[in-house]
Structure 1
């Protein structure tokens, strides 16, 4: 086995070891398994949140997007970071307090708050179906990225690489639940940050420094260096809106909101916000530098692969350092997949009540569902492959439009009826799917990014009443 292979194996064994250790803390109760006992500190919560938002979508998808679109793609960055800030600083105080006071364990508990009986079950059934649908395809796309990383190092087949990556992710999620996910995501977030600091510097130097990159980009067609790409006038405004509005999705991602629900207190939440925002700014900026450095050295008009980080690492880093980059990419993938497996399994076990069918065995049922979801995602990866960037962006948009409007309304002191919540979820999710399939899609498609959100917001605000004791 090569030095790169040894490095990667040691890294993955360390993740499994963390899962084994964390399993001792995960079996006390369903709250421990799903929310880590609500005792996360700022560094763990902030890094885990940030790493879970980004996944291979940043290291692979976003990097490839910037390399192909040029400077205009950078409009996505302020939107993403604004989404971080709104979740932690505006939605976060209400979400953490309410979920703690009412013993709510998942984002769906919060969405269905005050609903009872059959209406509550319908809300959770519809929402859980949306989560499982989106996460299954989202996780499949991530496994595809994991397979690429493992295949690069070990020279194994795509099927072998995908299965190997899935087994590692399954192992520590299955063992330790939310606490293991939190710790491994923290480790992964740190490794991604290091790569985002070191690799861009090496790539920039290899391209001839800042002057070399500027010269190389100037030789490209105008769309690469134009701030709005090929767009002008109202088209440019729509393009910018479509990119920045990507940040809206953060308010409705159930696997991200759990980090805010699990943070231990106000001080930890504020510090966690600073950690998440700092990490996001560093990683997105670093990936943009890599992308533009590669574009500057590419042939004019050439299409750049989503896998450029692999090639850059091989070309500019010595020794086993490329293996550390592969480990960081696997970290990005794992940090998202483990959170999503846990949330999707919670949707089936806790929100749909499957765990209550076997009293006293709730954690066992949750783990069994994780195994089933993981197997399903592997099959989707192998038989229905798709690009990482496009599929993740669709799932992000659809879930954000489904759940975000109701959470915003509740945090604003509104009291939507059960029927209104159901209609708003279906409208937001349905329009996101419809626009993705019917209208021109992609990162700058403002209708797909904005209109589903506006529809959901209009429904919940128009047909809800203001709470008399709304939280300020």
Structure 2
């Protein structure tokens, strides 16, 4: 690796810029509310792009283009499912969750919200939900570290055991220092970089091939089934791919962005911005993979790396088609995708440990300053555990991301969705639904399968459990129902 390589220099400048944003956010962080939720001050633009960037990890620039490159348009069903799920999440959950968390003791985390929404004096909801967050997000964080390490390893030839620190160090630093504001502000920059990378690269591939018609003809000549949306897919396979969209209702690192919006009135505009960003990014990722088929069919001498690993199609096209300085900026989009998701996961995990264990069980009267520093300590602890898990170069952690997405989607998704729509929902219904959702995912994944993505039976059974158990028990207390009605009225008034 040459230290004066333009791409390397661009990467370093990008990382330094993210760290600088972290230190600027440090000056705006006055208390624990600021550190965990940015003082509920995010405008529509930052809310939208932060939610999008924290959602879309390196999968957007590596996994999806690679899948399209290898198997054609049939792999785009997952993108369709994600778009539908994200839109429904913005429509039904985002605004309501922003209002309900504020009316329920200004809840700062999901376990906090569950506890106060149902007046759970046993604190079982807090304990179980916080444990789910810690277990699945440690896996998630480790996968982010692995993805970052692979990026530095393949782009610059950095040995893996050094690359895991390069990929994680900057993210850890700006989350440690700046907290939620740093994560949200850097997410906004990173989301802008990601969409730039995904829109400009397909255009340059088309220019390199001559025109779009030539590209399509080349792809058809390679294999006409590349255009077939149903190629090799059964009905269950399509449903499973689209089922990824159900996960949005339960992802803590996305839901916390809604909670942090400046007001419920900021949500509709944020939804329009966020969905536009998401659709363009996913379309760009599909286009990169699809047009990559044409480019490497016409340039077989350059196809070695992508033949070995299809997930490199985006990075290889960028390195071939762009000036090294421009390539550095565009490839920083991959780093942006990794860093934005990893930072969001670190902060949510830190929040669970600090708010839901340390403050709730150990130091109820801890000062704001103490909680901020404990939160920073938890960021460091979780990051080190994630790096430890990722330190094995043969780590299978990336394969567990789908498992973790399903776990959150089934355990939290129905509870969050129904809790903001139905005032008759009870504490026992929430707890039973959470447990059934999580257990179903584990049992289905390991013992049943049937080719169906485990989030689908998990989400359905958890929803039915919440409904049945809630109706079997006593109605929620009058105070709980009154808070729900006040929050719902505020939400409806804001959308008149």
* Same-fold call, TM cutoff 0.5: yes
Change (3 A) 1:435 1:384: farther
| In 1, Cα distance between equivalents of 2:346 and 2:337 | 15
Which residue among 71, 78, 81 is the counterpart of 1:79? 81
| CA deviation vs aligned residue, 1:72-98 (integer Å, no higher than 9, x gap) | 111222221222222222111211111
| In 2, Cα distance between equivalents of 1:252 and 1:77 | 18
Change (3 A) 1:313 1:157: same
Q: Tell me, what secondary structure is at the counterpart of 2:324?
A: coil
Alpha carbon RMSD of aligned pairs, Å?
2.3
Q: Is the 8 A contact 1:72 1:228 kept in 2?
A: yes
Equivalent runs, 1:96-245 vs 2, <5 Å:
96-102=98-104, 103-116=106-119, 119-120=122-123, 122-221=124-223, 223-231=225-233, 235=234, 237-245=235-243
After superposing the two structures, state which structure 1 stretch, 252-261 or 291-300, moved more: 291-300
| In 2, Cα distance between equivalents of 1:402 and 1:86 | 18
| In 1, Cα distance between equivalents of 2:24 and 2:340 | 18
Q: Tell me, what secondary structure is at the counterpart of 2:232?
A: coil
| In 2, Cα distance between equivalents of 1:208 and 1:440 | 46
Change (3 A) 1:25 1:72: same
After superposing the two structures, state which structure 1 stretch, 417-426 or 238-247, moved more: 417-426
After superposing the two structures, state which structure 1 stretch, 103-112 or 7-16, moved more: 103-112
Q: Tell me, what secondary structure is at the counterpart of 1:291?
A: helix
Q: Tell me, what secondary structure is at the counterpart of 1:112?
A: helix
Change (3 A) 1:37 1:363: same
Q: Which residue of 2 aligns with 1:263?
A: 261
| In 2, Cα distance between equivalents of 1:10 and 1:398 | 37
Q: Is the 8 A contact 2:390 2:397 kept in 1?
A: no
| In 2, Cα distance between equivalents of 1:200 and 1:439 | 41
After superposing the two structures, state which structure 1 stretch, 98-107 or 371-380, moved more: 98-107
Which residue among 322, 331, 356 is the counterpart of 1:351? 356
Alignment pair present for 1:391 and 2:400: yes
1:355 Cα deviation after fit: 7.3
Q: Which residue of 2 aligns with 1:405?
A: 414
Change (3 A) 1:319 1:164: closer
Alignment pair present for 1:418 and 2:430: no
After superposing the two structures, state which structure 1 stretch, 38-47 or 288-297, moved more: 288-297
Alignment pair present for 1:450 and 2:448: no
Q: Is the 8 A contact 2:428 2:469 kept in 1?
A: no
| In 1, Cα distance between equivalents of 2:209 and 2:239 | 32
Change (3 A) 1:72 1:279: same
Q: Tell me, what secondary structure is at the counterpart of 1:219?
A: helix
Which residue among 372, 391, 407 is the counterpart of 2:381? 372
Q: Is the 8 A contact 1:144 1:385 kept in 2?
A: no
Which residue among 310, 323, 327 is the counterpart of 1:322? 327
| CA deviation vs aligned residue, 1:226-256 (integer Å, no higher than 9, x gap) | 211113xxx3x32222122211101100110
1:112 Cα deviation after fit: 2.7
| In 2, Cα distance between equivalents of 1:154 and 1:246 | 33
1:402 Cα deviation after fit: 0.7
Which residue among 222, 244, 267 is the counterpart of 1:246? 244
| In 1, Cα distance between equivalents of 2:347 and 2:77 | 32
Q: Tell me, what secondary structure is at the counterpart of 1:18?
A: helix
| In 2, Cα distance between equivalents of 1:320 and 1:279 | 25
| In 1, Cα distance between equivalents of 2:199 and 2:12 | 23
Total equivalences in the alignment: 463
Q: Is the 8 A contact 1:153 1:323 kept in 2?
A: no
Q: Which residue of 2 aligns with 1:61?
A: 63
- Give the structure with higher Rg (CA): 2
| In 1, Cα distance between equivalents of 2:329 and 2:390 | 24
Change (3 A) 1:32 1:450: same
| In 1, Cα distance between equivalents of 2:395 and 2:18 | 27
| CA deviation vs aligned residue, 1:52-84 (integer Å, no higher than 9, x gap) | 110112111112122222111112222212222
| In 2, Cα distance between equivalents of 1:213 and 1:450 | 37
Which residue among 419, 434, 441 is the counterpart of 2:443? 434
| In 1, Cα distance between equivalents of 2:336 and 2:271 | 21
Q: Which residue of 2 aligns with 1:278?
A: 276
Q: Tell me, what secondary structure is at the counterpart of 2:454?
A: helix
Q: Is the 8 A contact 2:250 2:412 kept in 1?
A: yes
| In 2, Cα distance between equivalents of 1:457 and 1:46 | 28
| In 1, Cα distance between equivalents of 2:210 and 2:448 | 41
1:400 Cα deviation after fit: 0.8
Change (3 A) 1:72 1:154: closer
Q: Is the 8 A contact 2:89 2:248 kept in 1?
A: yes
After superposing the two structures, state which structure 1 stretch, 32-41 or 64-73, moved more: 64-73
After superposing the two structures, state which structure 1 stretch, 12-21 or 201-210, moved more: 201-210
Q: Tell me, what secondary structure is at the counterpart of 1:420?
A: helix
Change (3 A) 1:220 1:348: same
| In 1, Cα distance between equivalents of 2:129 and 2:392 | 26
| In 2, Cα distance between equivalents of 1:388 and 1:314 | 27
Q: Which residue of 2 aligns with 1:7?
A: 10
Q: Is the 8 A contact 1:57 1:389 kept in 2?
A: no
Which residue among 20, 24, 30 is the counterpart of 2:23? 20
Unaligned runs of 5+ residues in structure 1 are: none
Change (3 A) 1:384 1:433: farther
1:113 Cα deviation after fit: 3.0
| In 1, Cα distance between equivalents of 2:133 and 2:333 | 26
1:293 Cα deviation after fit: 1.4
Q: Is the 8 A contact 1:249 1:397 kept in 2?
A: yes
